[in-house]
Amino acid sequence: MTSNPRSTLGFAATLFVFAVVMIGTTLPTPVYPELQREFGFSGSTTTVLFAVYAGGVIVALVTVGRLSQVVGRKPLLLAGIVLSLFSAVLFAIGTAESLLFIGRIISGFSAGILTSTGTVAVLEAAPDSKRRIAGPLATAANIGGLGLGMLLAGLVAQLTPWPTRAPFVMHAVLLVIAGIALLAIRESVEKQPGARFRLQRPGVPVEARSVFAAAAFGATAGFAVCGLFSSVAPNFVGTVLGIHSPLVVGVVTASLFIASAAAQIAFGGLAVRRAIALGAVLLFIGMALLAVALPLASLALLVVASIVSGAGQGLLFSFGLRAITGASPDAVRTEATSAYFIVAYLAISVPAILAGVAVKLVGLSETGIGFAVAAAIVCVFAFSGRRRFPES
């Protein structure tokens, strides 16, 4: 069956909106060293600046996770664009450190809106001929958008004389285009008279508790590693390697997220149990490579560790989510997935803050090695719990 052009345009527009908003959530990462020099804050402040983003995501998941079912998908997509644009403006102005923190919280809230609404909107916008690839493309827009944000920010910061401003101006332009693209998207929710909004309460049904507990190990290890690479790696590249190129920082950190998206798409046909096992092994190897790369101050090994870790993270998280949704009854599936996302975003923030504190006490390399060892241990638990997952 061939899809009509209008529905294909709407599908492409939905993917574009999803990706553009997610780009903004990682945009500051390559320019953190420049922001440190400009504002004079420490590396530990950088990790907190990164971590407050996760708080915004969690608040959005709980407060507006169900709102699109009442008001429709397009209003929530528009809200995500507007909030992301506000965040970009605050960073582009950048006259005070407090503006950066406010901008990160707002960016996290916009990402939380798209996390709960974007994937569903993509799946519902897909024409018949694109149904089979809609899920992987939504993943690419989400996780790939995170990686693309780092690459674009690093490139723009490298090529312009305004490294702490130009990436956010660029993003603001993309967001305006995304707002225009909303016109091509058809509303997929038929509003019900008298429908009431209620908070998205996280919870794990009895039927899914065993699988959830096993999946939580993988999500925790994988997202903690994402937090480490996003918050501490920029300081390591500049301080230990002596490389002060935003583009290099962007490549190192983006490699993880791009590899995550690529692995989810490439290995999407694997059985859940096998994918979880492979993800745990890859993330373990990635942490071993990281522990070697840090004392050797090897950029090449650091990039390889980022790629291998990203592939492992992608498999652990996506197949863990697949197992949880499969084990949960329809009526409580959204509560279970919300709980899973909250675990993941706590893992991306709390360890990053602890790492920031540890850097001041023992140093960058020592903190990274200790973190790698701890994450590798969690990977062992994730691997040992693979038998709780379905074989298919």
The token duo for 295 is 């004392």
Q: What span, in angstroms and rounded, lies between the C-alpha atoms of 149 and 155?
A: 10
Give the chain's domains with CATH numbers. Answer: 1-184 (1.20.1250.20), 201-392 (1.20.1250.20)
Amino acid at 250: G
The token duo for 341 is 């996302």
Residue 378, pLDDT score: 96
- Write the secondary structure of the chain as one string of H (helix), E (strand) and C (coil): CCCCHHHHHHHHHHHHHHHHHHHHHHCCHHHHHHHHHHHCCCHHHHHHHHHHHHHHHHHHHHHHCCCHHHHCHHHHHHHHHHHHHHHHHHHHHCCCHHHHHHHHHHHHHHHHHHHHHHHHHHHHHCCHHHHHHHHHHHHHHHHHHHHHHHHHHHHHHHHCCCCCCHHHHHHHHHHHHHHHHHHHCCCCCCCCCCCCCCCCCCCCCHHHHHHHHHHHHHHHHHHHHHHHHHHCHHHHHHHCCCCCCHHHHHHHHHHHHHHHHHHHHHCCCCCHHHHHHHHHHHHHHHHHHHHHHHHHCCHHHHHHHHHHHHHHHHHHHHHHHHHHHHHCCHHHHHHHHHHHHHHHHHHHHHHHHHHHHHHHHHCHHHHHHHHHHHHHHHHHHHHHHHHHCCCC
Amino acid at 21: V
Q: What span, in angstroms and rounded, lies between the C-alpha atoms of 123 and 136?
A: 10
Residue 209, pLDDT score: 93
Categorise residue 327: left if φ over 0, alpha if ψ from -120 to 50, beta otherwise.
alpha
Contact 324, 214 (CB under 8 A): no
Residue 192, pLDDT score: 61
Amino acid at 161: P
Q: What is the pTM of this model?
A: 0.88
Q: What span, in angstroms and rounded, lies between the C-alpha atoms of 81 and 182?
A: 10
pLDDT tens, residue order, the chain (392 aa) = 444 454 889 999 999 999 999 999 999 999 988 888 888 877 678 888 878 898 999 999 888 877 877 888 899 999 999 999 999 999 999 878 889 999 999 999 999 999 878 888 898 888 888 888 888 888 888 888 999 999 999 999 999 999 999 999 999 999 999 999 999 998 887 766 666 767 777 889 899 999 999 999 999 999 999 988 888 888 888 888 888 899 999 999 999 999 999 999 899 889 999 999 999 999 999 999 999 999 998 999 999 999 999 999 999 999 998 899 889 887 788 788 889 989 999 998 888 888 888 888 888 889 999 999 999 999 999 999 998 998 77
Q: In the block, which residue shows the tokens 């390697």?
A: 241
User: What is the maximum alpha-carbon separation in the chain?
Assistant: 64
